[in-house]
Structure 1
Amino acid sequence: MIQPLYAVFGASGCGRGVMPLAREQLRQTGLPPDRLVFVDDNPEVPVVNGHRVISYQDYLEISASERYVALAVANSAIRERLAWRCAANGVRPWSVTAVNAIVMDDVQVGEGAILCPFVTLTSNIRIGRYFHANLYSYVEHDCVIGDFVTFAPSVRCNGNIVIEDHAYIGAGALIKQGKLGRPLVIGRGATIGMGAVVTKDVAPGVTVVGNPARPLTKD
């Protein structure tokens, strides 16, 4: 019988961190381990951490009843291009969630999300497609997060915050809680620097750093 084929797209750092989560998730389905591979457009080695590394074209040519892929690529623009590419080839998005991630009440997460170990999503949260939440990140109550948003490790996203599409939140960043009816807004494509403390809105496309976070200026 032809079985489905699962893949983690990206065999570099991000993908290697996601693969163990994907492997555990696949194990629970009863499928054999060889139905999970790395996909990389430029594979440098044939095997990484016990899994085959194959090109996207080779992945499409393997016999499968259905194909699923987790896009383990931190760059959100590339992630979006890959999502369109996979959709055009009938490859379905695969959400991967660590067994110890915590998801509480009334939380909606779009397709293709990756929730790493020790991630917490509390209550009344709406998250778009292809969200990445790295180790120890959390999202508190009443937040709205767009598509292709990336959280590096240990992001602290407090309540009543809106984060628009393609925003990148750096490791250890802290976003101050907004107010009911007046959320704090991180604009589309904004970048929050590592360890930044965000106390007010960030405009689209702007990079902020520091405590309190201010727009990055070039010397």
Structure 2
Amino acid sequence: MALARTERILVGVVGAGGFAKEIMPIARYSSEALKSISESVELVFVDRDLSDAVVNGHGVLSENEFFADTASKKFFNVGIGDSKIRQRISEKFLAQRVKPLDFRAKSAVTYDAVDIGEGAVLCDNSIATSNCRIGRFFHLNINAYVAHDCEIGDFVTFAPSVCCNGFVSIGDHSYIGTGAVIRHGKRGQPLMIGEGAVVGMGAVVTKDIPPYTTVVGNPARPMARN
């Protein structure tokens, strides 16, 4: 049922730290479409730390305050880099029947046949090119790209300026650090980055990475343990 134009919509950016503050302008842009169903769209941060009542011009609510709010419709996305926390928060909000809202910067680009799951954050100058399959609550940071024919799991994070070339498969909860470069794989034989893997800042990945392995350097190698 359509909302009356006077009814209120509440959009929550979960977190109030650095990344959450960076994506609030993207949230404002992405929320413009909601004004077609309501004239009153309010954006807030949702955070445990309530020492600041207002951050960058937006109010800060606790989770309980957000859930108790009487807005006609509520939407959310998660501005927290830790993928396990991101999953836990998203499941909690979904259980409260709060709908995920993709945050896509005006300059973010997707090409043909790109399938991205709910809750994506696509920052400025990010690109997902053709024939990509990307999971839920994906973070694609500033100037990062995913090239053709890649398969990316749920709760994956690309830091700024990541270069992920074609035919790459990345497992759930992987983290790809700032400026990392992932070499292209082959059709039918993608370069594999396992679930929970961490690729360090500036690393150059030239071969498969096992699950839950941290790699650094050029070429990327498992980080030595002390």
Moved more, 132-141 or 81-90: 81-90
Residue pair 1:23, 1:33 contacting (<8 A) in 2 also: no
Residue pair 2:129, 2:148 contacting (<8 A) in 1 also: yes
- TM-superposed CA distance for 1:43, in Å, is 2.0
Structure 1 residue 89 and structure 2 residue 85: aligned?
no
Structure 1 residue 14 and structure 2 residue 19: aligned?
yes
What is the CA–CA distance in structure 2 between the aligned matches of 1:27 and 1:108, rounded to whole Å? 22
Counterpart of 1:98 in structure 2: which amino acid? A
Find the partner of 2:160 among 148, 153, 159.
Answer: 153
Residue pair 1:69, 1:94 contacting (<8 A) in 2 also: yes
**TM-score when normalising by structure 2:** 0.94
Residue pair 2:47, 2:63 contacting (<8 A) in 1 also: yes
What is the CA–CA distance in structure 1 between the aligned matches of 2:144 and 2:39, rounded to whole Å? 31
Counterpart of 1:83 in structure 2: which amino acid? S
Give deviations 1:105-149, integer Å, cap 9, x for gaps. Answer: 000000000000000111000000000000000000000000000
Find the partner of 1:195 among 186, 202, 220.
Answer: 202
Residue pair 2:9, 2:41 contacting (<8 A) in 1 also: no
Residue 127 of structure 1 corresponds to 134
Residue 61 of structure 1 corresponds to 68
Give deviations 1:67-113, integer Å, cap 9, x for gaps. Answer: 11011110000000001111111111111000010100000000000
Give deviations 1:160-196, integer Å, cap 9, x for gaps. Answer: 0000100000000000000111000000000000000
**TM-score when normalising by structure 1:** 0.97
Residue 45 of structure 2 corresponds to 38
Equivalent residues, number:
219
Structure 1 outlier segments of 4+, above 6 Å: none
Residue pair 2:9, 2:40 contacting (<8 A) in 1 also: no
What is the CA–CA distance in structure 2 between the aligned matches of 1:180 and 1:43, rounded to whole Å? 50
